[in-house]
């Protein structure tokens, strides 16, 4: 009887410790709350599905379908799958990795987590259908969702890419132009994928600039940014310098 009771207590204790060990990491509070930036009130209205502008944008997406190469598709699919600050590794080099830069990774994840808080209410306000739900002849090559409530405007991926680019451009101004060009490429790949309109990604750029302006007034962002900046510059061989370099 005692041995059975002992085994039971051992099992309960082990399961409790195991459950505690796999408990999810708490999600940090966003730098910018939804009530601080109502994107729906400041962005231009998205073009209606039956508008001339939407027809022009659909024609552009069809042209991209015809011209995209296998390499273009592979690159767009890779960008579709990755949505963190390390999409800029091809700009900053092989040492720019999550494993070697934990503070930078944490800041990037915190910034990325803020995107949906601002963008999702705007998507629900504008309710712009995805292009492949408007034109069934489109052939998207990246992940699609069957839910018609998965709206397009503004692009969440695009907002994340531009936000992360703006953070990195402040960290490594020596690479500013290349970083911002990579953000444009990342956003453009949403069109190559066939899952967004050009106006969706253009709007995402405006949203990102608005968000970063508010983030820079948050002491928590400044603290995380300074730690990540020092880590990244040292790891990549740049002098620490000042923020105005």
Question: pTM for the complete prediction?
Answer: 0.87
From CA 88, how far away is CA 81, in angstroms rounded?
Answer: 14
Q: How is the chain split among helix, strand and coil, in percent rounded to 5?
A: 65, 0, 35
More confident residue, 148 or 109: 109
Average pLDDT, stretch 204-225?
Answer: 97
Polymer length in residues for the chain: 245
Q: How confident is the model at residue 36 (pLDDT cuts 50, 70, 90)?
A: very high
Q: Residues 199, 46: contact at Cβ < 8 Å?
A: yes
pLDDT of residue 25: 58
CATH fourth-level superfamily of 32-236: Phosphatidic acid phosphatase type 2/haloperoxidase (1.20.144.10)
Residue 19 confidence (pLDDT) above 80: no
User: Would you say residue 114 has pLDDT above 50?
Assistant: yes
What band does 18 get if pLDDT is binned at 50, 70 and 90?
Answer: very low
Q: Evaluate if residue 112 carries a pLDDT over 80.
A: yes
The pLDDT of 60-75, averaged and rounded, is 98
């Amino acid at each position: 009887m005692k041995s059975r009771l002992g085994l039971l207590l051992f099992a309960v204790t082990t399961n409790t410790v195991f459950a505690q060990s796999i408990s999810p990491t708490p999600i940090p509070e966003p730098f910018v709350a939804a009530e601080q930036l109502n994107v729906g009130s400041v962005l231009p209205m998205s073009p209606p599905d039956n508008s001339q502008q939407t027809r022009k944008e659909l024609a552009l997406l069809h042209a991209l379908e015809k011209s995209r190469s296998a390499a273009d598709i592979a690159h767009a699919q890779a960008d579709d799958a990755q949505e963190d600050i390390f999409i800029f590794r091809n700009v900053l080099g092989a040492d720019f990795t999550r494993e070697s830069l934990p503070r930078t990774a944490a800041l990037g994840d915190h910034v990325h987590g803020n995107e949906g808080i601002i963008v999702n209410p705007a998507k629900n306000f504008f309710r712009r259908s995805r292009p492949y739900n408007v034109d069934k002849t489109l052939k998207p090559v990246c992940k699609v969702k069957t839910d018609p409530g998965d709206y397009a405007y503004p692009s969440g991926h695009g907002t994340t890419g531009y936000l992360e680019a703006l953070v990195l451009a402040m960290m490594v101004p020596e690479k500013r132009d290349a970083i911002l060009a990579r953000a444009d490429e990342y956003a453009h790949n949403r069109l190559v994928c066939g899952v967004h309109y050009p106006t969706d990604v253009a709007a995402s750029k405006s949203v990102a600039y608005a968000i970063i302006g508010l983030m820079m007034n948050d002491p928590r962002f400044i603290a995380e940014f300074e730690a990540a900046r020092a880590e990244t510059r040292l790891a990549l061989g740049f002098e620490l310098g000042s923020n105005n370099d």
